[in-house]
Amino acid sequence: MNPLSTTALLPLLAATALPSTPDLGKAEGRCRPDENGPAFLVTPDGLKDRQGTLKLEVYPANDRDFLADDNVLIQQGKPFSRVETPVPPAGRPLCIRVPRPGAYAVVLLHDRDQNRKFGWRIDGIGFSRNPRLGFSKPGVNKVRVMAGGGPTPLDIVLNYRSGLGVAPLRQKESAR
């Protein structure tokens, strides 16, 4: 390996040594009262129930950075923000700020058991533009959304275990 490639790898090696923390991206994602800057107002649709927490995350809208490690994204100065909150009353949207208008990928996790990670057997997950989910993450082209200069409304349908995969609940089963 030549010295240039070793130097290029140092930031990545350092990032893998950093412990992930659930607070990464929260300061960047926190909306102000009556937010009027670039943000998404996300309404979760099809919740299984009102237990647990919702974790909303915004990633760069490219294949390389979509769902990448939050430590790496922040260390590289790339957009990443996170909001975590108890499941709100029906109809109340979640607000998450973004650094500027543009394209992003948005993920919503319904962490029903509150263990801070996705467990496909119990938790729900949804993505911007509500792609049909298979056995792997959707491509960024299927989830890319544009944030405007102010709050941009966005509905995300949650998917839960259904047989060997995940799918939206039938309407009558959704918590209102």
- Tell me the mean pLDDT in the region 45-55: 95
* Domain chopping of the chain, boundaries: 20-164
- Of the candidates 42, 88, 48, which has an alpha carbon nearest to the alpha carbon of residue 170? 48
Q: How far apart are CA 176 and CA 171, in angstroms?
A: 10
Does the pLDDT of residue 101 top 80, yes or no? yes
Q: How far apart are CA 2 and CA 99, in angstroms?
A: 36
Q: For 83-107, b where at least 16 C-beta lie within 10 A, e where not — what string?
A: bbeebeeeeeebbbbbbeeeebbbb
Q: What is the model's pLDDT at position 21?
A: 67
User: What pTM, to 2 d.p., does this model score?
Assistant: 0.82
| DSSP code at position 142 | G
Q: What is the CA radius of gyration of the chain?
A: 17
> How does pLDDT run across 110-141, given as a tens digit for each residue?
999 999 888 989 999 999 999 998 778 899 99
